[in-house]
Amino acid sequence: MSTLTELSLSEVTTGLRHGNFSSRELAQAYLERIERLDPALHTFLTLTPELALVQADQADQLLSDWRKNGGAAPSPLLGIPLAVKDILCVAGVRCTCGSRILENFIPPYNATSVARLRQAGMVILGKTNTDEFAMGSSTENSAYGVTHNPWDLSRVPGGSSGGSAAAVAAGLAPLALGTDTGGSVRQPASLCGVTGLKPTYGRVSRYGLVAFGSSLDVVGVFGHSAADAALVFAQMAGQDTLDATSVELPVPEFQPDASTKPSLYGLRVGVPGEYFITGMQPEVEAAIHQAITILEELGAVIQPVSLPHTQYALPVYYLIAPAEASANLARYDGVRYGPRQPAEVMWDVFRHTRGELFGPEVKRRIMLGTYALSAGYYDAYYGQAQKVRTLIKRDFDQAFTQVNLIATPATPNTAFRIGEHADDPLSMYLEDIFTLPANLAGVPGIAFPAGFDSKGLPIGIQLTAASFQEDLLFRAAHAYQQATDWHTRRPSLNQS
């Protein structure tokens, strides 16, 4: 039965519809594989096997009714397992956000993204590891231990959605949800050799996503291919009255071109010089240029573009994101959220609860953010950062008058060793140098495998598009994946 976990998503959908196997058998196959392989990887923080089997049985019932009675074909996601980053609420399931302060928090409701995927019949396997409150690029900031990269267990999977990325890479779930505030879907997708989509800001409801940087946060998805990710995106996207920043726009359905070599004729792809920097791993640079050549062979016109304010993205992000985080995390005070640490006076309750239960990176962000927002510094730091953010957004607006897509590396290097950046927060922050600008501009991005380095570690390319043009990202990534097989490679975990 374990071979069920090796089928492609379309094979699984077909098999379920024909009744060749059941959703229960599929969920059991994944749970069995998780039990066997996850102790070495630590991708899941909470498993929900009972819930999964109940949901799978419901899916099997719907499938059997459909086989008997006919009618419209069910959702391609009906009965398909899903892993959920432990920062998105699933009703009745512990949601830790990788933090001790929410060790026992059980949300009474579903995030809208989760609710919509449940509506489509997906089966939730459990909650995946994350850096504490999604602050980090390696999962090393999780209070519950690091996740290991399935391609090399001594290396990080990236972060903050490292548990979800590694779970898909290791075949522990066919699809997984993540969140991306500064790169937390695209960077781990790149480091784990899977496809990861960050939608346009406002495209997917943030309701039930525990807030980090509210003007940057977006729910994204991991899968083995762009076509797989597109299915989840189509279900979870769209306006939601529970999130005032969600946008009322139709969500175009991506219909993968069935031909073996779809064409990118008519698309212009820009390559910004600012994203090929000294210090990046030469093998990454070479692989990205190679991938861009393939896009050209598929019919795209390649041309240089400039995003002149790119160098300011990192400092701007590290003012805006911590400022928003310091406000969002004020609620974890032992009164509203968090187990109250006993003390004589109120201020000591706050001090002990926050001092003892937040990890060092979260405290660092709260201090940076509080400082940037404080009287006398607000204009010089936060206000200034907002202005430069506008310039970064205008860079993208300008570039997208010339090209349809922008192609860059997703990360400057492949997966680094666990502990390699542990004592140097700044070197960790540099990991997201190529992904942060899209969050500041609000535009969508997709990362997917474009080769391997000499150590056998995956390399990821990133495509970005103008706001609400996710379908262009899917089209280009799908065409690339029809022409190459990097995305079909799997780490050899069975021996371990």
Binding to ligand GLN in span 117-136, by CB under 6 A: 134-136
Strand pairing report for 195-198 and 445-452:
antiparallel
Binding to ligand GLN in span 203-222, by CB under 6 A: 212
Interface with ligand GLN (CB under 6 A), residue from 140, 240, 432, 470: 432
Q: How far apart are CA 130 and CA 312, in angstroms?
A: 27
The two three-digit tokens of residue 66, written as one number: 């459909």
On the CB side of 393, CA atoms within 13 Å amount to 16
- Provide the minimum distance between the beta carbon of 365 and ligand GLN in the complex, in angstroms, as a whole number: 8
Collapse the DSSP code of 219 into the 3-class scheme (helix H, G, I; strand E, B; otherwise coil) and give the result: strand
Binding to ligand GLN in span 376-405, by CB under 6 A: none
The answer to whether 160 contacts ligand GLN (rule: CB under 6 A) is yes
Interface with ligand GLN (CB under 6 A), residue from 78, 114, 321, 473: 321
Annotated catalytic residue, options 22, 75, 85, 246: 85
Interface with ligand GLN (CB under 6 A), residue from 28, 99, 149, 184: 184
Is residue 477 within 8 Å of 267, Cβ to Cβ?
no
The CA distances from residue 227 to 8, 41, 363, in Å, are: 11, 26, 39
State yes or no: is 160 an active-site residue: yes
Minimal CA–CA distance to 161: which of 486, 354, 432?
A: 432
The answer to whether 445 contacts ligand GLN (rule: CB under 6 A) is no
Cβ proximity to ligand GLN: between 203 and 475 the closer is: 203
Collapse the DSSP code of 21 into the 3-class scheme (helix H, G, I; strand E, B; otherwise coil) and give the result: coil
The answer to whether 181 contacts ligand GLN (rule: CB under 6 A) is yes
- Provide the minimum distance between the beta carbon of 208 and ligand GLN in the complex, in angstroms, as a whole number: 16
- Provide the minimum distance between the beta carbon of 466 and ligand GLN in the complex, in angstroms, as a whole number: 21
Residues 6+ away with beta carbon under 8 Å from 173: 30, 81, 82, 83, 125, 164, 167
Residues 6+ away with beta carbon under 8 Å from 421: 138, 427, 428, 431
Cβ proximity to ligand GLN: between 96 and 137 the closer is: 137
Annotated catalytic residue, options 99, 160, 190, 205: 160
Cβ proximity to ligand GLN: between 280 and 301 the closer is: 280
Cβ proximity to ligand GLN: between 44 and 212 the closer is: 212
DSSP 391-460: HHHHHHHHHTTT-SEEEEESSSSSPPBTTTTTT-HHHHHGGGTTTHHHHHHT--EEEEEEEE-TTS-EEE
Q: How many residues bind ligand GLN (CB under 6 A)?
A: 13
The answer to whether 188 contacts ligand GLN (rule: CB under 6 A) is no
Part in contact with ligand GLN (CB under 6 A); list of ranges 176-184, 222-230, 259-267, 461-469: 176-184
The answer to whether 182 contacts ligand GLN (rule: CB under 6 A) is yes
User: DSSP secondary-structure letter at 486?
Assistant: G
- Provide the minimum distance between the beta carbon of 97 and ligand GLN in the complex, in angstroms, as a whole number: 11
Query: Where do contacts with ligand GLN occur on this chain (CB under 6 A)?
Result: 134-137, 160, 180-184, 212, 321, 432
Which are the catalytic amino acids?
85, 160, 184
